[in-house]
Structure 1
Amino acid sequence: MQITGAKALVTGANRGLGKAFVEALVARGAHTVYATGRRPELIDTPGVIPLHLDITDAASIDAAASRVGELDILINNAGISTHSPLLGDNLDNVRREFDTHFWGTLNVTRAFAPRLAGGAILNVISALSWYVYGPGSNGYAAAKAAEWSLTNGVRIELAGQQTQVTALALAIADTDMMAAYDIPKLPPADIVAMALDGLEAGKLEVIGDPVTANVKAALAGDPATFYADVQAALFGQTA
């Protein structure tokens, strides 16, 4: 998939990874870049077309699809984190996670898929698609696991029209979502460069950082060992 001359759309483009994506697409010579968000007035990247898109609202998706027309690259980046456990007093925030990461991603993909023949989709998933580290990550992790499965399923369903479907998996980027964590973080521009390089190379999965690589490698082992290590790191105790 060549970015130069392409027509691209990025969800959640007003900050963080989304903003880095639209900046990189412009720098790489994309012909048209739609930078979308619930508040497009906050999008200030030069050379892009701001566009309202709330991925949890069907009417908003339909309006954006009507406005955009043909498309070469769709980047499903929009996301939230509500820090919700699965067994808490209220499931509303868990539903918000799924409405955004699963249903939102799926509905945007369904709206644009027919016009992406020969093009590409990049979905931003997470290391938390494959593990959890504590109760406050559980709602997000469950929704991201569903988005990972969605990505693999859509790839199969769109193979007949030669649409490339790539997953970007990462753990720790220097974005608002990770602002409360006092740990080393990768600059969004570095992760986005890696993701777009992978997209242009035809890769189906891009691993964004060493943490994610280690998590994925651990999936081949005994989950009892893996989660004992996680529990010890978090709570200073073994299972």
Structure 2
Amino acid sequence: MKLENSVVLVTGATGGLGQEFVRQALERGAAKVYAGARRDHDWSDPRVVPLQLDVADPAAIETAAAAAGDLTVLINNAGISGARSLLTGDMTEIRATYETNVFGPLALVRAFAPTLAANGGGAVVDIHSVLSWIATPGAYSSSKAAFWGLTNTLRLELAAQGTQVLGAHFGYVDTPMTAHLPEGTDKSAPEDIAGRVLDALEADEKEVFADALTESVHAGLTGLTTGVFA
């Protein structure tokens, strides 16, 4: 899926990685980028169209779908870290994590699938994590694992209408979301991750392992499962 002359929606567009997706999509020739976010941001490029969008709000998703009838690429980038424990964390916070990280992206794909089909098929990019495959305490890793499974199923269901579905995996990125991590934690630059993800999109890939950590973890998991189903 080439980005030249495409129309892109980036959710979580005002975050560190989201802003990179917006910037680099424009650099690669996107005709328009809808910048979906809960808060305002001063976009200097007239090709950027701000959309007030909380991905956990069905009404906001419906409004976005009505406004962006020319969409060809949906980037499900919005996400939250969520409760620190599934056992003792507040259930409202745990549910909110799943609403943002799993059900919100699903609702967006459902809302925009007819639009993508009408506009030639297009593409969906789902932003996962290396923690899709590694369990950690709290709601985040389990929500990303669920999102990864959802992406794999949607890829099958959207194939008939010619929609590319790309799952993107990577470790920590140097954004405000990871600012609380201990000093010395290995973090990738947002521009590097966004670039690798968009390279994979334009190469018609199904998955991208966008940093060395994720490549290593995936290779290890692949080695563990080799021959299991033989």
TM-score under structure 1 length normalisation:
0.87
For 1:18, give the aligned amino acid: G
State the distance in 1 between where 2:180 and 2:90 align. Answer: 23
State the distance in 2 between where 1:76 and 1:114 align. Answer: 17
For 1:35, give the aligned amino acid: A
State the distance in 2 between where 1:222 and 1:85 align. Answer: 28
Q: Is this contact kept in 2: 1:167–1:206, CA < 8 A?
A: yes
Q: Pick from 191, 214, 217: which aligns with 1:215?
A: 217
Q: Is this contact kept in 1: 2:131–2:144, CA < 8 A?
A: yes
For 1:131, give the aligned amino acid: I
State the distance in 1 between where 2:14 and 2:219 align. Answer: 33
* Other-structure match for 2:22: 22
For 2:130, give the aligned amino acid: A
Q: Is this contact kept in 2: 1:55–1:100, CA < 8 A?
A: yes
* Other-structure match for 1:126: 129
Which structure 2 residue ranges, 5 or more long, are not aligned?
226-230
For 2:127, give the aligned amino acid: V
- Superposed counterparts of 1:140-219, under 5 Å: 140-181=140-181, 182=183, 183-219=185-221
Stretch deviating more after TM superposition (160-169 or 211-220)? 211-220
- Superposed counterparts of 1:1-239, under 5 Å: 1-39=1-39, 41-46=40-45, 47-117=47-117, 118-133=121-136, 135=137, 138-181=138-181, 182=183, 183-220=185-222
For 1:81, give the aligned amino acid: S
Q: Deviations over 1:155-187 (max 9, x none)?
A: 000000010000110112111111122223211
Q: Deviations over 1:98-130 (max 9, x none)?
A: 011110010011100111122100000011110
How far apart are residue 90 of structure 1 and its match?
2.4
Q: Deviations over 1:14-56 (max 9, x none)?
A: 12111100000111110111011011x2253523111111110
State the distance in 2 between where 1:140 and 1:43 align. Answer: 30
State the distance in 2 between where 1:97 and 1:212 align. Answer: 23
For 1:24, give the aligned amino acid: Q
Give the number of aligned pairs: 219
For 1:19, give the aligned amino acid: Q
1:132 aligned counterpart, secondary structure: coil
State the distance in 2 between where 1:89 and 1:71 align. Answer: 38
Q: Is this contact kept in 1: 2:83–2:97, CA < 8 A?
A: no
State the distance in 2 between where 1:30 and 1:153 align. Answer: 28
Q: Is this contact kept in 2: 1:13–1:43, CA < 8 A?
A: no
For 1:73, give the aligned amino acid: V
Which structure 1 residue ranges, 5 or more long, are not aligned?
224-239
Q: Is this contact kept in 1: 2:171–2:187, CA < 8 A?
A: no
State the distance in 1 between where 2:155 and 2:57 align. Answer: 24
Q: Is this contact kept in 1: 2:126–2:151, CA < 8 A?
A: yes
Percent of pairs identical after alignment?
44
1:3 aligned counterpart, secondary structure: coil
How far apart are residue 83 of structure 1 and its match?
4.2
Q: Deviations over 1:57-80 (max 9, x none)?
A: 110000111111121100000000
2:208 aligned counterpart, secondary structure: strand
